[in-house]
Chains A and B, each alone.
Chain A
Amino acid sequence: MIHRSTSFLLSFVPSAPSWTTIDENKLPKVPELTTDVIELLERLSLVEFNNKAGVDRLTKVIQSVNRLYTVDTDGVEPLDTVLEDRVLHLRDDDVTDGNCRKDIISNATKTVEDYFVAPPGNIPLMKIERDYKPDTKSDSTESDSAT
């Protein structure tokens, strides 16, 4: 113990956190998630929010990442990949693979004569009337309503 406390005095590890406190009041407001936005996101995602809890969670994520707003990024280029300074290897445009029809369709639920099968296309998603107002019942069954 004594040895430990002596060595602490010499330590290079700081003794307290030095994080900047972010003033939440100075952050941009979380945009309101209107029914239009929710429907758009559901259409793009092809899954449903399920309930109010799903909408609340999105609001919280947005609220959290809004703190990025305080970082000065003027004149900083976006970084897509850490390999930006390298030329990626491109192989020759030759067929090196094939004859794997069986493998390709082996995981499909529905096939007909080596074709994948899809239901009729070009029919927009049915509009379901939903209300994402707060639930009165508990959210313990929120996970799987669609089964």
Chain B
Amino acid sequence: MSSAQVGVSVERLDAPQKLCGTAKFIDDYQFPGGLFGATLRTTIARGRITKISFDASFPWDECVIARSTDIPGANNVLFIEHDQPLLTEDLVMHPQQAILLVAHAQRVKAAEALKHIQVEYDEWEPVLSIEDSLARKHVIRGEDNVLKTCLVEKGDIEEGFAMADFVIQGEYRVGHQEQAYLENQGVAAWVEKDGTITVLGSLQCPYYVHKALVKIFAKPVDKIRIIQAATGGAFGGKEDYPSIIAGHAALLALKAGKPVKIIYDREEDMASTTKRHPAVIRHKTGVTKEGRLVAQDIEITIDGGAFATCSPVVLSRATLHATGAYECLHVRVRSTAVATNAPPNGAFRGFGVPQAIFAAELQMEKVALAVGIDSLELRRKNAWRPGTLTATGQHLKDSVGALKCLSICAAKSRYAQKRREYARWNSKRSNPTWRGIGFSLCHHGAGFTGSGEVTLASRAGVSLSQDGLITILAASTDLGQGTSTIFAQIAAQALGLPTSLIRIETPDTAMVPNSGPTVASRTTMVIGGLIERAAHDLKADLLKASRTLPRTQAALKRAAKVLCDGEPVKRYEVQFEKPADITWDDQLFRGEAYGVYSYAAVAVEVEVDKLTYEARVRQVTTAQDIGKAINPRLAKGQIMGGTAQALGWALWEHADFRGGWMRNSQLTNYLIPTFEDTPPMDVTIVEEPYARGPHGAKGLGEMPMDLPAPAVVAAIADATGHWFSQIPVLPEKICHELLRKSP
């Protein structure tokens, strides 16, 4: 038997290419005779285009121009809804909306051409805030500006408040966050001789692009082909937007009869693509004097921007995580996604959960203060455990690691000792800083919400070629998180082979089945599980063909001769099957909201400079229950990276939106943490196995982003005595608050 392939830190399959610079990203591909595309965008938030004029002096005969009238099929980008035009016809719904496209053989000329087009508008007053949208200052969508509402109810909320000794209210706000992937959005498109429209690009979900382009170009499914190039990060930012840029490049390619590449620079990317949803969340909590939660009444409003994109599902996920990982007898969660005249907000690691957890965890701190008990004790009393009945009526049975994460994190961070130690430090006036420690706990539903996985009916598999090559077939993309390596490890373990004998097919809709999108912390748990099943099917056949399991390339080749039976490859594909005991009512929001949840606890230590009010994170200690770490080093990398991203959201990242525009759409003025800002992190992986995940694995990718922000705010409160209810907590805000208190 070859040694274990799962649970060990196998080197990443793509490490040599990434280290040596040989991995080919989209802008590394050259297309002889090809053109470069550029996008003319709106400069107002709301109104109507009245005139578009082209400078007569510019050599337009060198350019190809594509407009909405060139679209062969539907002028909309199909996602959950089909409300977003690929190119606006005349109605302006947000700044940066695409109007028309220009292609030129030289990249600089394409960009220059845009400066020679004048757009005139009939400008209308826009709706730019959640409050204005709810108040229907103007109705910009439907009858009431509402994109989606959700409701979760358990028990009777009034009965809950009647039982309470204390009722505590709080309001929490979070702003936009930019994904800031290393590689900007970019694609290339061309039309094959048989009319197939092919797109190669920096993509997270090739089949989403496929689905959108089939409608835009009115083509049969086999005449649209989408291929992922090496991709430099996505974090959700390449979930829906690539359908737009791919549609643009393909439209130009179709009109030009030549390959067309569109690569955004950082400014265009940050200004025009999706961000995390800003949110306003109100909590009203009833609690007994013993610290037992008896009523949670929660209202969530998120800003969806001008079109629906992911907002309905971001909202439902936020709703289903609104209570935090706590059991409460009486719950009501009412939530709304509203439209504003800003570029659509979209998917970003956490997908509504960071917003929900930010509010829920700070509310727990507020409740603990009101009741007069330690907030860890309050969490311990109410945290989910086997036997818990959640707000949707889901009975938690196993793989519930919330309390385990909490105790490990509290012990390893020495939370209680640190609280006392820092109180002593802060009492000494001559010390140059204030120090504090904060804590938070969260859950994260793994996989698609509700019946989403059943609807997706994802497929994945492995194939064996005549030459004995084993290839994984999945549409799941490696964005830098290590998907390829994880898949190879799972297949290798099932087959009893070393990981090095497994190769991964490029996510290419002509080559791999539809495994659904690479989102929702589902890839290892759901698609990894399908690959494991398919690998077992292959193994059974290999055993039949060669009696002993082949362990070398030569032995595999001999077995393949028999199994392939003259065909070039034999494919083993499997499909996701609905577990019998999982039910979900999408109208009432009742049932198993997720097949399983992952859990995490974090302690964050900060130090605030008394001269400059800068908050520096000194240490992060975290314990995260992910079922099973298929590759512990990659898992820790995910946890550390997500944590750093969350620290950025809490302390630095301020998207300065005015008039529906992000004014600081550059990395010089939108600050994300550097290595110098990133503290040492003590990461403990907790493994409470999930029976349906491969080797017990459940979701991991998003959770590290969900919980550090409220812990940062709690640590700043511990240090300075001031509770902030909004992030980022910039030094300017700390300065202002402290001066207001004691000028």
Are A and B physically bound partners? no
User: Chain A interface (Cβ within 8 Å of chain B)?
Assistant: none
